[in-house]
Structures are given as structure tokens and as C-alpha cells.
Amino acid sequence: MLTARRLGKRYGEKRVLRGIDLELPRGGFLVVTGPNGAGKTTLLRICAGLAQPTEGVIERAVERGQVGYLGHEPLVYRELTAHENLELYGRLYRVAERRERIGMLLERFGLWDVRHERVASYSRGMTQRLALCRVLLHEPELLLLDEPYNALDEAGAELLDAQLAELRSERTFLLATHEPARVEPFASGRLALAA
Amino acid sequence: MTYVRDVGALARKDLLLELRARDTLPAMLLFVVATFVVFHFSLPAHPSKLAASGLLWVAILFTALLGLGRAFLPEQEQRVLDGLVLAPCDRSAIWLGKSLATLAFLAAAQVVALPLYALFFRPLTGSQVLGVALADVGICAVGTFLGAMAVTTRARELLLPLLFLPLAIPIVVGGVGAGVAAEPGRYLVFLLLYDLLFAVICWASFEYVVSE
């Protein structure tokens, strides 16, 4: 699904990634760990196609529309409601039976009652839940999740655990986290980045 | 049809955002009205046709710049552009949707600005209004494209006018010509060609603006 050879990234003089090799087969679950500044976010952005490596090569056996990317930012409009945001992404991702899928996700992530409120009024945890809805909306084959447990309360984290357990056998995951123990039961491999 | 639907969804989203946040159109309106009021009291009574036409274009260009400078701010705020870029739709739809929304804001500002200009300075001619409409298309096509380039930089407020104003000189030439020339037809054709040429260039190259 995803293969990288001698992957490196520089921003001017600053080297963010160096010599990363990774092989993520279809159905794999690779956990990326490392201290702050080790390049986890950069690696995920390269895998998503949002950034280009300055060294090495990356091959993706998946189309752009089949990638679900969760970054540090929720990638939703603050002045739109949760429903309007998902409706927009649903259209752009050509989601079949969009309304049903949006309703199901909002209900599952506990946002149904606030679906017509602006995202600007949400707490950080609610916004993260919405970001997870956005990522899962189009049922992507490859999920790139950067610190998905960030800002989630225990109930939210358990919801995410349940989603990962449900999708584990059907999807491919690349997940960066500071809490590798939490996703250990799902992991098929681990990549530790050094600072 | 899918492309048209994508453009429609993206443009509708921008109109909805403006309806909620109200931070672009009121600023544009306030600016263009203030500009005409200042010009009205600072210039001698009954300025020449050429001078009046010139100040109309100064007001239009800088009002447009105000809107263009804010066009991609909602996307920049939460890095939403990443989400749009990852979507499987044609990336030029992002540019076209944003251009159409900006065109709507500029047209709305001119619904107030043009009668005010006629009241304070000189009556408008049909060719002048047509010139403004054609110029708006070019301004929004080029300005939205450059706005997307500038928004990712730290000096975006400086960079956008630096890039946009030189490219807007032909628009001013065409717009002023359409308003004052005895035969405005060739200036209108010139504006139409400018619109077509730059719309095609921006449409075809927007992909590279939003890719690293």
C-alpha cells in the first residue's frame, strides 16, 4: 500500500527526516513513535501527498480520494456547522448515501445533538471528534492519523478505540502517537523516529 | 457535471462563510464608500472625464484587493486547504469556486459604489458599466490565483498587492478606455481577451499553487 525508501525532508538548512525506510502492506497497522520534532507529522504529510520529500522515494498504491488524513488541525471551517462541513466534504469525496453516512458518524461520535451549531462553539475535544468523522466519512482505504487521541476525553478515546477495532481488519493504518501502548493491540509494526 | 457541482459547493460554502462571519463584504463596502467621499471633498468640483474615470478604477482595484486579501483566510486559519487539496475533485474547482464567490462580493460592493460614483462625479455610460463587469472577472480570476499563492507566506499582505497590481495594469487601461474613448468597443474586446487568457492560465496552473 505504501513504500518509502531513504526518505528525507529538509526545510532550508533544517533536516526534519533522514533515511526513513518503511513498508506498509495492505491491511497493515504501523505505529510511528518518536519525541517532539522527530518528524512524525512531516512523515504523515509526505505519505498523504501534502508534502514532497527532498530525498528518497515514496510509492503509494492508493488514489488520493482513498486516503483519510487526520492532522494536528481539524481541517474544518469554524464558521460552518458540523453538518455543513461534512456535507461539503461528502460532496467533494463523492460519498454515496451521504446523508445517512453523515448522520451515522455524527451519532456515533456523539455530535448529533450539536450538528447544527457552528464549530467555533465546540470544545477542542468535540472538534477532534468532528475531525475523525471527516476522516472516516468517505471510508478511506488508507488512514493516516497524527495523534488521533489528542484532546479526546476518555469517552472519546474509547469511541476511537472501538472504531480502530472495527476497521482494523479492513483498512490500512499509519498512526503517529505519543501513547503507543493504547494502540498496541492493533499494531502490526512499529517505526521509532529519533530526534 | 461533477465539476460544476464541486464548484457550486465550494462557492456556496464561501457565501455561507461570509454570511456568518461578515468580515469581507462590509469592509469592502466601507472602503469604497469612504474612498468616494474623500475624493468628492478633496478634488475640485466637476473633475474631467479622464480624472473621474481614473479614480473610479483606483477605488475598484483597492476594494478588490481588500476582498482578495481575505479570500483564503478561512482555509488558512485551520489549514482547511489541506483537506480540500486531498479531496479527489479537480483542484482547479477550488480556484473557480473561490473566484466566483469573490466576484459576488465585488459585484455586491459595486452595486453601492457605482451609483455613488455617478452621484458624486459623473454619470456612468453603458460601456463603462460593461467595462467594470468584464474587469471584475479578470480581477477575481487573477487575484484569487495570487491570493492562494500569497496566503501561505508570512508577508501575504505585502505580497498580494506586489504581485497583483502589475498584472492589473491592463485591466485599468481597458477599463479607463471603455469609459472615456469615443469607440469603447476595442477596449471591451481587450478586457474580454484578458479575462479569457488569464482565466485559462489560472485554471490550468492552480494545481501547482496548492501543491508543495
How far is the C-alpha of B62 from the C-alpha of B129, rounded, in Å?
18
- Domain holding B180, by residue range, is 2-209
Helix (H, G, I), strand (E, B) or coil at A43: helix
Q: Over the stretch A92-117, which tens digit does the pLDDT of each residue have?
A: 999 999 999 999 999 999 999 999 99
Contact between B96 and B202 under an 8 Å Cβ cutoff? The reply is no
**A with B: how many residue pairs have Cβ under 8 Å apart?**
74
**H or E element: which one contains B147?**
helix B126-150
Q: Over the stretch B101-128, which tens digit does the pLDDT of each residue have?
A: 999 999 999 999 999 999 999 999 999 9
Q: Over the stretch A7-56, which tens digit does the pLDDT of each residue have?
A: 999 988 889 999 999 999 999 999 999 999 899 999 999 999 999 999 99
User: What pLDDT was estimated at residue B49?
Assistant: 87
Domain contains A69: no
- Domain holding A180, by residue range, is 1-62+141-195
Residue numbers in B near A144 (CB within 8 A): none
Q: Using CB atoms, which residue from A69, A84, A92 is nearest to B89?
A: A92
CA distances from A178 to A18, A31, A172, B200 (A): 20, 10, 20, 47
Contact between A52 and A130 under an 8 Å Cβ cutoff? The reply is no
Domain contains A70: no
User: What pLDDT was estimated at residue B194?
Assistant: 97
Residue numbers in B near A127 (CB within 8 A): none
Q: Which residues are CB-contacts of A98 (< 8 A; sequence separation ≥ 6)?
A: A87, A90, A91
User: What pLDDT was estimated at residue B211?
Assistant: 83
Please say which residue of A106, A121, A138 terminates a domain. A138
The answer on A86 and A35 residing in a single domain is no
Contact between A67 and A142 under an 8 Å Cβ cutoff? The reply is yes
* CA of B212 vs chain A CAs: smallest distance (Å): 6
> Using alpha carbons only, how large is chain A's radius of gyration in Å?
17
Say yes or no for a CB contact (<8 Å) between B87 and A52. no
Question: Which grid coordinates belong to A151?
Answer: 484532546
SS3 content of chain B, % helix, strand, coil (to 5): 85, 0, 15
Which chain B residue has the Cα nearest residue A47? B86
Say yes or no for a CB contact (<8 Å) between B9 and A88. yes
Say yes or no for a CB contact (<8 Å) between A77 and B74. yes
B162 pLDDT higher than 90? yes
Domain contains A67: no
The answer on A152 and A96 residing in a single domain is no
- Taking the C-alpha atoms of B115, B195, B137 and B155 in order, what is their torsion angle to the nearest 10 degrees? -110
Q: Using CB atoms, which residue from B9, B82, B212 is nearest to A75?
A: B82
Domain contains A72: no
Q: Over the stretch B26-49, which tens digit does the pLDDT of each residue have?
A: 999 999 999 999 999 988 878 888
Domain contains A94: yes
Q: Which residues pair with A118 in a beta bridge?
A: A81
Provide the number of structural domains found in chain B.
Answer: 1
B212 pLDDT higher than 80? no
The answer on A146 and A134 residing in a single domain is no
Contact between B211 and A51 under an 8 Å Cβ cutoff? The reply is no
Q: What is the CATH number of the domain that holds A179?
A: 3.40.50.300
User: What pLDDT was estimated at residue A48?
Assistant: 95
Q: What is the mean pLDDT of chain A?
A: 94
pLDDT band at B152 (very low <50, low <70, confident <90, very high): confident
Three-state SS for A59-108 is EECCCHHHEEEECCCCCCCCCCEHHHHHHHHHHHCCCCCHHHHHHHHHHH
The answer on A150 and A101 residing in a single domain is no
Question: Which grid coordinates belong to B210?
Answer: 496548492
CA distances from A181 to A22, A70, A154, B192 (A): 21, 20, 15, 62
Which chain A residue has the Cα nearest residue B10? A88
Residue numbers in B near A52 (CB within 8 A): 211-212
Domain contains A91: yes
Provide the number of structural domains found in chain A.
Answer: 2
Would an 8 Å CB–CB cutoff place B20 in contact with chain A? Answer: yes
Would an 8 Å CB–CB cutoff place B77 in contact with chain A? Answer: yes
Would an 8 Å CB–CB cutoff place A78 in contact with chain B? Answer: yes
Say yes or no for a CB contact (<8 Å) between A88 and B212. no
Say yes or no for a CB contact (<8 Å) between A89 and B88. no
Query: What are the backbone angles phi and psi of residue A183, rounded to the nearest 5°?
Result: -105, 5
A134 pLDDT higher than 80? yes
Residue numbers in B near A76 (CB within 8 A): 78, 80, 83
Would an 8 Å CB–CB cutoff place B74 in contact with chain A? Answer: yes
pLDDT band at B156 (very low <50, low <70, confident <90, very high): confident
pLDDT band at B177 (very low <50, low <70, confident <90, very high): very high
Please say which residue of A119, A138, A157 terminates a domain. A138
Q: Which residues are CB-contacts of A119 (< 8 A; sequence separation ≥ 6)?
A: A74, A76, A77, A78, A79, A80, A81, A82, A85, A127, A130
Say yes or no for a CB contact (<8 Å) between B82 and A67. no
Residue numbers in B near A80 (CB within 8 A): 13, 16-17, 20
